[in-house]
Amino acid sequence: MRVLIISDYSDTQAVRPEAELMIRLAQQGVNLDIITHPGSAFESRFRSAGITVHLTHPTKKFDRKYVQYLKGLSLRNNYQIFYLFNSKAIINGIRAAKSLPVKVLLYRGYTGNINWYDPTAYFKYLHPRVDKIICLAQSIKDYLSKQLFFNINKAITINKGHDPSWYVNIPPFDLQELGIPNDGFVVACMGNARTFKGIKYLLQATAYLGDLPNIYLLLIGRDMAKGNLQKLIDRSPLKDRIITTGWREDVLSILSAVSVFALPSIGGEATTKSLIEAMSMGCAPIITDIAGNNGMVLQDETGLIIPIKSPTAIAEAIRKYYANSHLVSKFGKKSKAHIAKAFHIDRTVTETLQLMRGLIQ
């Protein structure tokens, strides 16, 4: 089985589950070629696993020369499957596949923003040349199935799995380096501050937490203190205890040192990677009740699930943990076990192999 992967492996921590999946597929005998950007931290590991790496990731969505390059590469290597992960890869890969005897497999990790009445959707996920779409969560598959003219058999749900061994023997970060005392009760949130992440509702929730003397909010990721978010921080009674770190490489070490992880998303998520990492590190979670994250947290068993767009609900959940330290420990341990069982990478490897073999038979 010869498969061409086109994806971006530049961000080491963010793409780890996907990159590790590719290495395990190669170990299972799949003959893989990977096209990615130069400078990928996984390049040497890919090559050590017997994967051929081409540092020629497309730089624009509609590139005739690149389409011809893909055609030539495919004819030389007799690929049976194109597995495409991002917009530039998908658009150019589909155009190259039109005259090739290959199956086209796409990845989709976001719920929404694909509409049958949008002409641009037919360059990607609604293109008739697409054979299968791997959806990160059931909510994505359900959303695609509602699109007019879409063949519902094309979509399949396969979670991105994690290996519990990635989260052991990681020393806790010294939060004093961020100005947080040893006895601080820390609520962390991690991600890039896009609108659907709902960061503003988390910041608004701090208006109801001003009487808690040693509580801290730790915001990890890009753009957490930009524009209106900075204004909310400045108005918060906890403004001196809201720490923004920007993007960090050592997020697992930081997560191992905090008490609670909050994910206030208002939609668009699909088995959120930051949540999996936090739960795997033993953080007690608070998440909103949105499609895509269903099943990741079990209410009052592994964490707390609250309504969307509700600062008061976020504050109440944080107060519950603050007043009941035994819940933090209990839910943290159970969260770790839940993720290890339900989102293991071995399952992802098995299901991906079954899909690929079915495509080429």
Q: Map out the domains of the chain as residue ranges.
A: 2-161+344-360, 165-342
Rounded Cα distance between 51 and 54, Å, is: 10
Kindly report, residue by residue over 198-244, the tens digit of the pLDDT. 999 999 999 999 999 899 999 998 888 888 999 999 999 999 999 99
Distant-in-sequence, close-in-space partners of 145: CB < 8 Å, separation ≥ 6: 152, 155
Kindly report, residue by residue over 165-188, the tens digit of the pLDDT. 999 889 999 999 999 998 899 999
Please report the pLDDT score of residue 272 as a whole number. 83
CATH architecture observed for domain 2-161+344-360: 3-Layer(aba) Sandwich (3.40)
Assigned CATH topology for domain 165-342: Rossmann fold (3.40.50)
Same fold yes or no, 2-161+344-360 and 165-342? yes
Q: Is 291 exposed, middle or buried (0-12, 13-18, 19+ CB in 10 A)?
A: middle
Residue range 269-292: mean pLDDT, rounded: 88
For residue 336, give Cα distances in angstroms to 3, 190, 303, 352: 33, 17, 11, 24
Task: Show the DSSP H helices in 146-293 as ranges.
Answer: 199-205, 228-235, 251-255, 273-280
**Prediction pTM value:** 0.84
Contact by Cβ (8 Å): 37, 10? yes
Whether the per-residue pLDDT at 38 is higher than 80: the answer is: yes
Concatenating the DSSP letter of every residue in 133-148 gives EEESSHHHHHHHHTST
Residue type, 104: V
Number of other residues whose CB lies within 10 A of the CB of residue 9: 25
Determine the distance from the C-alpha atom of residue 128 to the mean position of all C-alpha atoms in its chain, rounded to a whole number. 27
Percent of the residues in the chain that have a pLDDT greater than 90, as a whole number: 72
Number of other residues whose CB lies within 10 A of the CB of residue 13: 15
Residue range 48-62: mean pLDDT, rounded: 94
Whether the per-residue pLDDT at 101 is higher than 80: the answer is: yes
Reported residue count of the chain is: 361
Q: And the tokens for 194?
A: 């896009």
Rounded Cα distance between 83 and 94, Å, is: 10
Residue range 2-17: mean pLDDT, rounded: 87
Kindly report, residue by residue over 65-94, the tens digit of the pLDDT. 999 999 999 999 999 999 999 999 999 999
Whether the per-residue pLDDT at 57 is higher than 70: the answer is: yes
